[in-house]
Every structure is written in C-alpha cells, then in structure tokens.
Chain A
Amino acid sequence: MTAATAVTAGAAATSSVSPALELRGIVKRFPGVLANDHIDLSVERGEIRALLGENGAGKTTLMRVLYGLYPPDAGEIQLAGQTQHFRSPTDAIEAGLGMVHQHFMLFPSLTVAENIVYGREPRRWGFIDRRTAARQVAALAERYGLEVDPGARVADLSVGLRQRVEILKTLYRDAQVLILDEPTAVLTPQERQGLFRVLRELAGQGKTVIFITHKLQEVMEIADRATVLRNGRVEATVRIADSSPTELCRYMVGRDVLPDPIRTPKSAGDPVLTVADLVVLDNAGRRVVDGVSFEVRAGEIVGLAGVAGNGQSELVAAIAGLRSATAGRVMLSQQDANTTSIAARRRAGLAYIPEDRNRVGLALAASVADNLIMADQRNSSRTPRLSKRGVLSRAGIERYATDLIERFDIKVASTREAVGNLSGGNRQKVVAARELAQEPIVLIAEQPTQGVDVGAAESIHRDLLAVRDAGRAVLLSSAESSEILSLCDRILVMFEGRIVGELSAEAVGADPAAEATLGLLAAGGAT
C-alpha cells in the first residue's frame, strides 16, 4: 500500500497542471451496502488507466457516479480542475465524459453516421444535413485512425466495428475522458489488437482512457497504471511497468490465487452426446447452424470456440431443447433426443449452464432455495427429499439448499434471500451449483465465467474439471480463448454456423501460438 501511495504522489508532483479527472472521497451507499467507500482516483491527461476489481468491488457504481447516473452521497468530481455536479449523463457528456457501455447503445437500422451524430445533428434549413454529417464522421474517423464506413448500416457491422462507432460517438461529442466498460469481452483477439491500437492513438492525442476489465493480461498490455478496487475501496494504484499479474491479482482477490488446476491426461469413453448434421434457424429464418456434426465422449471436455454470433448459442439451445432443430439429430447416451421435451432431456442426464443467467438461468425475484431446486422439483427419483407425491418438503428443500450453498461456497444471507440481490459471481455459482448437483452425464457450460470475478471463475473451472475427471462429459462454449485452451481436451471452432476446425489438447500444448491459431480460425481464416 505504501508503494502504491508513493506512485500516486509522484505522478501528481511531476505534473503542474490539474489531472484530467480527479475523484475525491466518493461515497455511495445502497441499503445495506457501502458500494464506494471514500474513493480517490486521479487520472492524468493522455493516460490509459485500468480499473480492476472483482464483481461487487464497486467499479460499476463508481463509473455510474462519475457518469451522472447516481448522485454520490459524499465526495467531489473534478474534470481538468473544475468541480462538477452531474445530475444526469447529459451533464457528464456536456462536461467531456464519454462512456462505451458493455451493451452497445446503437440503432441497428440507422447508418454509422446517423448513429454518431444522433442528438447533435448538423442542420440545414431545419433538416438533418446528412452530407455534412457523413463528412464530419469521416474526418473524425480519419483523425483517430478509426476506419469505418459512415454510410454503412450498423446492423451489417461486426461487433468490433460497432464498438468503433460507440467510440466515435463519444469523440463526436468531444469527450476528453473515455470510459470503456469491459470492452474486450465480445472481441476476437484480432479485433482486440485493433482496439488497443485505437486506444493508444487516442491517449497519444491527449485523451484520457479509463478501461474497466477483469482480464489481467490486457491490463499488462495496454494500461499505464491500474487502480484496483476491493470491497468498495481503492486497494492500490500501481504503475504497470513495476507490477505483475500476480501482484494485481493479489490486490483484487486479497490473497494469492491458485494456479490453474492441472488437467491430467485421460482417455475418453463412449460418446454420450452426438450431434449429426444439425441445422438450426434463428428467429429471422437464417441458417445460423448449418449442418454441424460432432460427438462428446464421457470423460472429456470439448470446447466450442468462436466469435459470438457464429451459431454457438443456437447450437447449444438446440441441444438443450430450448430451440427446435430444422434438420439433423441430437442423441444423448445414444438415445434419440430430437423429439423429446426439455424435461425428458434433463431426465436423460443433460444439465445446462446457460449464457444468459439473468434471463434464462435464474428467476431473480425468487429465493435462492427456489432457484436451486429448479429441474429437481420433478426428479423425485434422485432427490426424494425435495417433494413427495407433488407436495414440497420445506425441511428437505432447506437442507438441500443449505448443503449446496456450503459445497459451492455461495455467499448468501439465507436460503430465502432473493437471487437478484446477489453479485454476478454468486448468481453464477447458484446456477452452476444447481446444474452440477444434477450429476449430469452431459453438462453444457455456456460462457460459464462471463462477468464472473477471478475467485469464482477459478472455482467454476475446478468444478468443470471435476465433472470430467468423474467420467462425465462437458461441452464448453466460450468466447474466452484462454479458458478454452486451458480446460479442453478437444476444441471445435465455429464460424458462420459451421465447424471450421478441430484442435486437440496435445497439438495446442505444443504450440505457443495456439491462441493466435484459434483466433484466426474463429475469424474465418483457413488453417
């Protein structure tokens, strides 16, 4: 801590002008939670600052206070030495702040230029002057090296390009301080490099960048300094050149993190999940899964890699029975599962950790206990104590829920607490605990550590390996290539609805450029 303080003081001493952004003693309280506890943060002009922290550390709250979404209970915000009182994001934007949200706020049916100038359109005779708008946007893109076609419709753009549009939107409004909330979560490795180039360019031209993330590697790569939050306080501010991922991680978690568990070589058994020539249409009728075939055998983890939106979600939904397949077959333990209901697939040993835990995997308003017994309330053969002839056993449910909370180390006040009150990591643990407790023959894990802090991700990875080592099968769909590379026995890469490549763990282990190969395949390049 002393070293960290020294760094801040040193940085302040070297610059005679006011920092681009300064927060002093920010306090934000929610009922029962002190989300921000006297946070001080000072960011220089032209600096790229990483804001690190586990879920619930207070990053999001701090950024919302900064962006005018929450009024702080105490503390002061200064931009370039001027004290600010933001009452809405409009005030914050006016003062030169720009936020790129995790979920993009764009109109898909409008063009790039229209999205960028929206709310501040150049006008001519009272009408929107499209030509000037396009010219301004092109000039802006040119100046910061953000190539994008101003006339293209946003709906036709890739995720990486949409993100550029978001960044341009803030620049168009003359933002001096850009806040990016987990900007790399949806990008391919190549797109990520492109984003980093842009951020360096922006910093070089005097803009200030605040980069919120979970990923330590990215912090090491892009940031000048990192501020780590824990339990609502600033744990440390460090210069990246003098730090290491291990140190940052220790500040985040408050202890040393165990190394990734070792995946012991193991020979796989019989195929327990077979997918043959599967075709799935999306809601608009496009063939988003276009004749996919593969098997997952007992005792192996098969990874499904690829950039989001290449059919993985629909493929997984079709296997789980949430979406119907137009052609092809899904077999569980060599039994045809095509025509069977979701309940029947679950009885046949399928469990599923869905991508969207808040909208699919949980009922946020319901209690932890109610969320933990879903799918088991009917399965009286396996958990006879939860219900008897259709009547729920309160004591049995309480015992079962308490047991799972303990086994999976879920942090809750009681089994009756609403799941919506939990942090993202604990919500995911509720989903994982429920699905793993089924002792599935096949477990589908979809983005199981997305938006989950390091500690929770670590325990979910261990759980997935334990399922595999118990001789059961896992299909892991993840956009996180490091997760795929460290856990999987085999990796299938999806691109535009097809499987375009398969890599084995042995091949990957021997290849230091494995991640690049994966990224190339995922982007549609040939091996």
Chain B
Amino acid sequence: MSRFRKGAALWGSLTAPAITAPIFAVLGALMLGALLMLATGHDPLAAYRAMLEGALGGRQLANLMATLARATPIVGMGLAIAVALRGGYLNLGGEGQLVLGGLASALVALYTPLPGWLLLPASLIAGALAGGAWALLAAGLDRWCRVPLLIGTLLLNYPARYLASYLVNHPLRDVASGMSQTHRVPEAVELPRLIAGTRLHIGALIVLALVLAAAWIVRRTRVGYELRMTGLNPSFARYGGVDTVRLGFGAMMLSGGIAGLVGAMEVLGTHHRFIDNALTGPLYAWTGLMAALLAGSSPLGVLAAGLFFAAVHTGGFGMERGAQVPRELSRVLQALMILLIAARGQLLTPRRGGSTAAAGKAGAT
C-alpha cells in the first residue's frame, strides 16, 4: 500500500463521524457556556484561559498532574462500565462496586496478619474481588430473580455505600482523628507516588495498562469478538453458539472487578485510608459512566473522554481561582457536552425517512 493511500485512510478515519461528532459537541458546549457566562456577567475568554491554565498548566505542571491524578479513577470507572457495555450489559452499580473495593482493600491492609510484601497485592486483589462479587450479585438477580440488571446494579449501590458509611462511622472509625474514616494503612501498603509532591500514583499506570489490555482483548481476541457480537445482537451470538449467560456473568465480574480495583487504588494510593464519601463525593463512578457512553464503550475512547472530563473538573477549580467563575459552571458545561453528544445523530446528520417509525407504530400481527 502506498504512503498516499495510508495517509488518505488516516484522514478518512479522522474525519469519520465517530471522531468529529464529539469535537463538534464539545465546541458547541463551549459556545453555550460562553453565552451562559456572558449572561451571568463573566468574561468568557478570561474564564476559558483560566480553565486551560487550571487544567494543564501550573508551576512545574502541577495542575496537569492534578488532572492526571483525577483522571485515574474516572478513566478506571469508565473502563469498568465500558467492558460490560460492549456486551450490551449496562452496569449502573459502579459506585457501590467502587466503594466496596476501597473498603475491602482498607480492611485487608489494616487487619490481616500478612507480611508487608504480600499485603499490597492482597489488598488490591481483595478490592477487585469485592467489587466483582457485588456486580455478580446483580447479574445473579437478573438471571434468577428477574430483577433487570439496570435496576439491580443501581439499587445495590445504596446498601454498599451505607454499609461502608456505617463501618467507618462506628466500629472501624479512627476516633482520634475526629473524622469519619478508618485508621491509616501501613506505609508498606501505600501505592508509590509517580512524582513526589503530587497526588499522581502508580495506579495511573495500572489504569493505562488496563485500558490498553482491554482495547486489545476487545479487538483481537475470540472472547472480545464474542462480547462485541453479543453487544450488537445477543440473539445472533446465541445462535452462533456463544454461551451468552456465561459471557454476561464474566463481563459483569470483570466490570465490577475493575471498579473495585479502582476503589482499592484510590484508597491505597491517594487517601491511604478509607474516608467516608471520599470515593462517592467526586462522582467518579458517574463521570466514568458518562465517559463510557460518550466513547461508545471503546476503551481508548474512554481514556480520551476520561482525561477530558478530569481536565474540565480541575479546570473548573482554575476558573474559580483565576476568573471568579463559580465551579458549578464547569458541571453545567460537562452536562451540556454529554447532552450534545447524545443528540449528535439528530443534530449533525440530516433526517431521512423520518416517518418510517410511524409506519411501524401499530402492533404487527
């Protein structure tokens, strides 16, 4: 193949709707945000400059490091949702799985008599297992008790969150600290920082590796193929001999496992203890869900979307500091973007055969 044709193919893939639609959505959201700021009496240019600085700049790129640190759990949660969604399973229980993963890792780190070198991997694995088990419970409810996965995963968030809250407020509370949190985990269990003086820890690299592994598995392996086909048409996959029941359990376990691992890494890498609301307050799970939806559940797309959302978050702090724009505005911006992305099919492509739906509205006999 000639270089020219390769270049043309690359250009073609860059101008494909999958790439251009999110860009247009983001630009549209920025413009709407500018209108909003003008209406509330702020200077949009100064605000966006402060946002950019707050997301990517700072002394010795401190703000960029903060963005990457924040992106770690967001991308991780996005990946957790995406691996299940690829197979057509919508896991809305990321939050509960994240919290239980963090809690389990803290408990293992604090209360098991394992030698130091074994304690860190054991804590991480415990986190993944706890998240995975919680997701499996929802899958089992769907399979055997006819509780739709959507509802089961969503509702299981509440017992997980409040169980964790109860434990750190009462039996496991570090009373001396005066806060709703566990004791600090031993130093040997802390995930090393990538750069001293920042919150960026080695979990970022683990998440990156997971994203790359997931992208490869989805595209290049047999089980990834079966997952994709199940997501596109479960009847077809079943007809072709795919054990969709087993695949569904596997996908949910993996999804919950990743969520639990993300929780464990935040506990062991960022906070060094389980703090009440530290994992749920920043809405990692829900932002991750948005990233997965925005990326069409492609792992690499989740990486891009997660970095972007993290930048919007930290940029929001920058806006607040540099241009006195309320931080809430960045949340408004983020919501606008997802809305525009969701509407891309209708906004950016001309409607054709719009009434075919009407032709099919009466029940076919």
Contact = CB atoms under 8 A, between A and B. Distances in A.
Interface of A: 30, 64, 68-70, 88-89, 101, 103-108, 154-155, 162, 320, 322, 341-343, 346, 352, 354, 359-366, 370, 373-375, 377-378, 387, 390-392, 394
B343 to A, nearest CB: 20
Given A322-B238, A341-B243, A359-B233, A377 B363 contact: no
A373 B241 CA distance: 12
B222 A378 contact: yes
A106 B365 contact: yes
B364 A364 contact: no
B359 A390 contact: no
B226 interface: yes
Contact of B364 (A64, A103, A366, A375): A103
B362 A392 contact: no
A88 B229 contact: no
B220 interface: yes
30 contacts: A30-B352, A64-B353, A68-B355, A69-B355, A69-B356, A69-B359, A70-B352, A89-B355, A89-B358, A89-B359, A101-B359, A104-B365, A105-B360, A106-B365, A341-B243, A342-B241, A343-B242, A360-B235, A360-B239, A365-B232, A365-B233, A366-B228, A366-B233, A370-B225, A374-B236, A374-B240, A390-B221, A390-B222, A391-B221, A392-B222
A476 B157 CA distance: 51
Contacts of B358: 88-89
B335 interface: no
B355 A105 contact: no
A363 B232 contact: yes
A506 B125 CA distance: 70
Contacts of A361: 236, 239
A354 B224 CA distance: 25
Given A366-B232, A392-B225, 7 more contacts: A69-B359, A101-B359, A322-B238, A342-B238, A360-B235, A363-B236, A391-B220
B365 A370 contact: no
Interface in B209-256: 220-226, 228-229, 232-233, 235-243
A377 B355 contact: no
A106 B221 contact: no
A370 B242 CA distance: 14
B353 A392 contact: no
A105 B364 CA distance: 5
Nearest to B233: A363
B142 to A, nearest CB: 19
Interface in B342-359: 352-353, 355-356, 358-359
Contact of A88 (B235, B236, B355, B365): B355
A235 to B, nearest CB: 25
Nearest to B356: A69
Contacts of B364: 103-106
Contacts of B359: 69, 89, 101, 105
Contacts of B365: 104, 106, 108, 154-155, 162
A162 B226 CA distance: 40
Which 10 residue pairs of A and B lie closest in terms of their CB atoms, listed nearest first?
A343-B241, A374-B240, A105-B362, A363-B233, A363-B232, A375-B240, A103-B364, A104-B365, A363-B236, A106-B365
